[in-house]
């Protein structure tokens, strides 16, 4: 399928699906015109492929990645994805927001310290002016890795390898309850831009599309990440969305209901981000 036909096909699918993901970019975020890019679809990671473009760390078997090249969203795609108003339903929304105030080196160090008092002043109080931080609020804390990685998530419990596009399972909800799960805000506190990658459909919509595609003999996988991988295998031309996040900017996303990952491609410094989980919504 050529790029134009693939673009039209996924846009039609997105428009007729209740679980199509919408993107909100806060007005104070800079250079929003070139912020959103699309991949050419998805592909399986080669067993010899590495995510770290310098040092090399392997992907686990079956991991799936965006298929290059990346391109800017067309006018039609942008209008189909991006909304002007802050969303109220965060189960099918991604929001890009900016941390108020300057992200100075002193402020970075205060956030990275993990001190409750310093976090309250330098992170939580400013975030409450732009977001509703619904309770219970969980502090996942600082993540820090070398930059210039295609994707950033490692299976620390089993393989120690990178997992590619995946779904979070903090809340352990069943598929039909994912709209009730917590979401997350992840603030870029590094020196360089980083990216948030995701498929433009909720996991619930993905499961519905698979059921329609595969017919009555299809059995719902118990593991949610398998649902995402099956979808990418059968709909390989559906693009991955890539949102650029400048230092001090953050994404708010339903990562329990979204096939996603981070990327630090192009970074020359460490990839540093601070994450909170809760029922979070931009104001």
Phi, psi of 91 (to 5 degrees): -70, -20
Provide the whole-model pTM.
Answer: 0.94
Which has the minimum average pLDDT: 9-18, 191-200, 243-252?
Answer: 9-18
Question: What's the mean pLDDT when you consider all of the chain?
Answer: 91
What is the predicted pLDDT for the residue at 52?
53
Contacts of 203 (CB under 8 A, 6+ apart): 167, 175, 178, 224, 227, 228, 256, 257, 258, 259
- pLDDT tier at 54, thresholds 50, 70, 90: very low
Work out the average pLDDT over 234-245.
96
What is the predicted pLDDT for the residue at 56?
53
Q: Domain locations in the chain? A: 3-282
Q: Are 24 and 85 contacting, i.e. CB atoms less than 8 angstroms apart?
A: yes
Nearest Cα to Cα of residue 73 among 269, 240, 221: 240
Q: Are 201 and 12 contacting, i.e. CB atoms less than 8 angstroms apart?
A: no
What does the pLDDT look like over 80-119, one tens digit per residue? 999 999 999 999 999 999 999 999 999 999 999 999 999 9
């Amino acid at each position: 399928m050529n790029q134009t036909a693939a673009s039209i096909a996924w846009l039609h699918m997105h428009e007729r699906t209740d679980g199509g993901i919408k993107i909100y970019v806060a007005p104070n975020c800079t250079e929003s015109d070139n912020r959103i890019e699309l991949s050419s679809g998805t592909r399986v990671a080669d067993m010899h492929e590495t995510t770290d473009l310098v040092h090399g760390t392997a992907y686990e078997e079956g991991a799936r990645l965006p298929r290059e090249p990346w391109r800017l969203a067309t006018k039609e795609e942008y209008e189909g994805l991006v909304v002007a108003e802050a969303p109220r339903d965060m189960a099918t929304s991604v929001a890009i927001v900016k941390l108020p105030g300057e992200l100075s080196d002193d402020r970075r160090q205060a956030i990275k310290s993990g001190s409750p008092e310093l976090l309250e002043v330098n992170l939580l109080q400013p975030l409450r002016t732009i977001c509703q931080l619904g309770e219970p609020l969980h502090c996942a804390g600082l993540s820090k890795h070398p930059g210039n990685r295609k994707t950033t998530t490692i299976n620390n419990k089993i393989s120690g390898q990178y997992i590619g596009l995946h779904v979070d399972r903090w809340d352990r909800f069943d598929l039909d309850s994912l709209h009730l799960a917590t979401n997350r805000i992840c603030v870029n506190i590094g020196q360089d831009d980083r990216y948030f990658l995701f498929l433009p459909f909720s996991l619930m919509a993905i499961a519905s599309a698979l059921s329609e595609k595969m017919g009555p003999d299809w059995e719902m996988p118990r593991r949610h990440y398998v649902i995402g991988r099956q979808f990418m295998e059968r709909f390989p031309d559906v693009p991955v969305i890539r949102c650029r996040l400048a230092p001090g900017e953050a994404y708010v996303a339903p990562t329990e209901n979204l096939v996603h990952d981070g990327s630090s491609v192009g970074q020359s410094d460490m990839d540093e981000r601070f994450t909170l989980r809760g029922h979070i919504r931009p104001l």
